[in-house]
Structure 1
């Protein structure tokens, strides 16, 4: 977060804190070895949150 972010201006978080991107990074991943000298394969599986949804906490 930066000084210009609404969350900082409202006092909900501090400048310099990490900003979450749950919509972009909500997955589990594993690399598959394809042999020496070959490029590995990245496998991704999306995470689905049915009971609890990801949220941002405030410790201020």
Structure 2
């Protein structure tokens, strides 16, 4: 599975960046970039899951790879 962002839904409000800064980055134009798309271990997967659940626009999800 890999992490994906729906660019049509994303408002770049940064909740995901606060929850998993190793995986998400907002650039100077408030465009979200995925730094990591697959979890490295269970703890990392838990942080990514928290970011998915915490996204106020439901713009983050898992996709089968």
Give the TM-score of the pair, scaled to structure 1.
Answer: 0.21
Who wins on radius of gyration, i.e. which is larger?
1
Kindly indicate which of the two structures has a greater share of residues assigned to helix: 2
Give the TM-score of the pair, scaled to structure 2.
Answer: 0.20
Which of 1 and 2 has higher RCO (CA within 8 Å, sep 6+)?
A: 2
